[in-house]
Structure 1
């Protein structure tokens, strides 16, 4: 007969094999933490549930199966999970009757196979015997039995006289429960790399706090806060991550004034490492995590990484060191941050002409002697701290910079490169690249509002914010060019229209 449960849905959760291979005491500790993380994730989803341990697995009983499945798909330490179609008590005969009732329509005109897994010590029949008998009852309703590549796979976990029937086996993220490996600081920029690097540390059981060295103002900061919030909301159950936002404007100005352009990229990274290490010291983090991949940019050659590492007094972990960009972007899609990260401009390239790809520690130390390190200390002291689970949508809203309608008296500024401006632009828009706009800012009048746009609305947001600080009424068009094109019924509007 069907077993009655408190909630209408039951999900069987299987632990990652690495957890089960640990020594008994260690495995027990890992499983306890996994259940705690699952509990927190399910609670935050706003559903009713109960977690029960059973035969070396975990059962989730809930009133909302879809939300529970979504949480489990993002809980590290979960290998696979299966929503249960029905739980049947009464032994083999009851199991056979239930299988026919459940699956006779599903297997019609299809090939099928039955797989039974016996759990516990009470085993009246072998798995093979049960598979043959249950399969034999279903055979008259199906096209054929196919043990190698069936259209339908029917499975059951059997413990004593109880059978848990299911057809879906969904992959979880695997890894270890977050919190089992201590704490790390991730240097996060909002781009693909640093987010994916943090995710891999989380997958191996490390808690993450984040340090963001802001090179481009409040609009950029809000973008990074939003990306970090998505990462933590989706994957950080069981943690209480914080984001430390450090204004690097004065640090960069000092660097530019007192060091050679050849070394700017390397020295900037060293300053970021120093900032990260200082925050790590304050919160007791054990390692510094970066998204660097070997050879991806000039500062990520072996020579430069060796020079940069010198300033860190804790281990530097680089989960992506051997990855290529395509693989990193694929992982970002899994994480759910790819659409946000692709809008982040490249701000770290201080010297785009000929940055050094080789460096020596003594050379850089000599170069840095001209710098004022009190500026970095003050920047770290003034860090803004966000508790990521307390961040609201209002905190990352960009009302002061972004605008969705263009005022009639606004001057429209197109921030694309000239070649792209020639290809498409809004009628009447003036073309200013970022450098040209800031160099000619004094030539612009402050008597009218300005609306800036760029491909994604991100670089224009930074420029609009700088104009606001200089006393202009300036905005970035929300959604960028893609959104602008939608408001014209006949497509792109150009000066030739």
Structure 2
């Protein structure tokens, strides 16, 4: 294997000021967490990029597979190394460009010469290496502006570093660099996408799900756990808080007019989420609501739901249409899980004609006849918490014998 390191480019992190090192440190920590199964990693952080040393082919393959999902990385390249000798450089350039041998593409050579003592100037290296590659690859042609491939050569103090492939990263900010919020994870298409978008902006997530057995099945809960686990592939652990919601949901059905029951259900979910948020030290609540998509997501409905909390509510999908949300869900790998036909608590006891423009005063009036506070406290107290990603425990063959 010719690859000796992976060079990571920061992108948006490069625009940061005095606190830039904190963002870089968070990215480095997230990379170590993501690749704990191939630890230890030798990582060198610089102001504008990061280097990961490669020890073996297995390590290289894992890094190439998972790095595109780590937020905070604009792009990365596998890098080969050779001695500071022109003939060695020519040999290595052919090995690197061999991956393009069956493609009719344009290329150019770029040289970064940080070791000024190297005898050949940048333009001389471009001519020597570019000419050698061109003579040995009839499928290639030179294009100085916007070529298909740039063969990049870095002349450093210790050796020559060479790369051509550029893999796009996930962009955004390192998860955890912008605090923590609580994601309301329903099991549908929208909420995992909302969580993904907040994670992309550096927000660490915990998730909350409302479970109403026997009206919702164990399969629906399993689906939500799978979605929470899917989100961890973007570089962070996630805890899922499962709220027993049956008692409250039945009481709502019995206590408020049916056409406002959906609004009350969402309001009580928000009150419960706010209490869990406070316990875990999160700063905001994240939902997958999109304006006007359903009756509970009109501007009037969202105003009524917001009325029960002063906590910031992040709705990253507010202006997205459904097809845009589906495209992101397919891209991040949550769509197929989300469309499994298991109902969540939002789809049970659904009124035939829900209010699309509920008035806050009337909703408060209808709810005033029922005491929900004790039920809310009990639901929060009796929640179950799961941690993802799940770890496969090795079974002790002697377990139970002592």
Question: Which ranges in structure 2 are unaligned for 5 or more consecutive residues?
Answer: 395-402
Q: Secondary structure at the match of 2:93?
A: helix
Paired residues of 2:262 and 2:351 also in contact (CA < 8 A)? no
Tell me how far apart the structure 1 counterparts of residues 332 and 291 of structure 2 sit (CA, whole Å).
22
Distance 1:246 1:159, change over 3 A: same
Q: CA deviation at 1:70?
A: 1.9
Measure the CA separation in 2 of the matches of 1:311 and 1:119.
61
Paired residues for 1:48-67 under 5 Å: 49-53=41-45, 56-62=48-54, 63=56, 64=58, 65-67=60-62
- Relative to structure 1, the CA distance from residue 119 to residue 176 in structure 2 (aligned partners, 3 Å threshold; closer, same or farther) is farther
- Equivalences for 1:40-79 in 2 at 5 Å? 40-43=33-36, 45-46=37-38, 49-53=41-45, 56-62=48-54, 63=56, 64=58, 65-79=60-74
Name the count of aligned residue pairs.
Answer: 382
**Closer/same/farther in 2, CA of residues 156 and 330 from structure 1, 3 Å limit:** farther
Shift of 1:231: 1.5
310, 316, 328: which one pairs with 1:331?
A: 328
- Deviations along 1:224-257, whole A, 9 cap, x unmatched? 112212222x1233xx421110011111111010
Q: Given that residues 114 and 154 in structure 2 are in contact (C-alpha distance below 8 angstroms), is that contact kept between their aligned partners in structure 1?
A: no
CA 1:156–1:338 in 2, change beyond 3 Å: closer, same or farther?
farther
SS in 1 for 2:317: coil
**What is the rounded CA distance, in whole Å, between the counterparts of 2:312 and 2:47 in structure 1?**
40
User: Aligned residue for 2:380?
Assistant: 380
Deviation at 1:123, TM superposition (A): 7.8
Contact 2:96 2:164 in 1 (8 A): no
Q: Is residue 360 of structure 1 aligned with residue 359 of structure 2?
A: yes
Q: In structure 1, which of residues 19, 28, 45 is the aligned counterpart of residue 21 of structure 2? A: 28
Indicate how the Cα distance of structure 1 residues 27 and 303 shifts in structure 2: closer, same or farther if over 3 A, else same.
same
Deviation, 1:49, is 3.3
TM-score under structure 2 length normalisation: 0.86
Q: Structure 1 residue 183: deviation in Å? A: 0.9
Deviation string, structure 1 residues 156-185 (Cα, Å, up to 9, x no partner): 344357332223111110111111111101
Q: Does residue 162 of structure 1 match 2:159?
A: yes
Distance 2:98 2:16 in 1: 42
Q: Superposition pairs for residues 450-465 of structure 1, below 5 Å? A: none
Query: RMSD value over aligned CA atoms?
Result: 2.7
1:230 alignment counterpart? 230
Q: Which moved more, 1:96-105 or 1:270-279?
A: 96-105
* 8 Å contact from structure 2 (residues 295, 354) kept in 1: yes
**In structure 2, C-alpha distance between the alignment counterparts of 1:210 and 1:35, rounded to whole Å:** 24
Q: Is the 8 A contact 1:104 1:141 kept in 2?
A: no
Question: Any idea what the Cα deviations from partners look like across 1:84-137, whole Å, max 9, x if unmatched?
Answer: 2x2123155643353245547955884431232526474866655533332122
Q: Find the counterpart in structure 2 of residue 445 from structure 1.
A: none
Question: Do the aligned partners of 1:114 and 1:134 also contact (CA within 8 Å) in 2?
Answer: no
Q: 2:260 aligned with 1:260, yes or no?
A: no
Q: How many angstroms apart in 1 are the aligned matches of 2:99 and 2:188?
A: 49
Deviation, 1:329, is 1.7
Match of 1:180 in 2: 177
Distance 1:50 1:346, change over 3 A: same
* SS of equivalent to 1:380: helix
Distance 1:276 1:333 in 2: 27
Q: Where do residues 300-311 of structure 1 align in structure 2 (5 Å cutoff)?
A: 300-311=297-308
2:398 paired residue number: none
Deviation at 1:191, TM superposition (A): 1.3
What TM-score does the superposition give when structure 1 sets the normalisation length?
0.71
Which of 95-104 and 302-311 deviates more?
Answer: 95-104
Structure-2 residue corresponding to 1:299: 296
Task: Give me the whole-angstrom Cα distance separating, in 2, the residues matched to 1:352 and 1:253.
Answer: 13
Task: Please give the secondary structure, in 1, of the residue aligned with 2:171.
Answer: coil
Cα distance change of structure 1 residues 164 and 278 upon mapping to structure 2, 3 Å threshold = same
Whole-angstrom distance in 2 between the partners of 1:151 and 1:107: 13
The CA distance in 2 between the partners of 1:375 and 1:352, in whole Å, is: 23
Map of 2:242 onto structure 1: 245
* CA distance 1:188–1:106, shift in 2 (3 Å): closer
Other-structure match for 2:399: none
Q: 1:118 aligns with which of 93, 112, 122?
A: 112
Aligned to 2:93: 99
Runs of 4+ in 1 over 4 A off after TM superposition: 91-94, 104-109, 123-129, 148-153, 390-394
Higher relative contact order (CA 8 A, sep 6+): 2
Counterparts of 1:368 and 1:92, CA distance in 2: 80
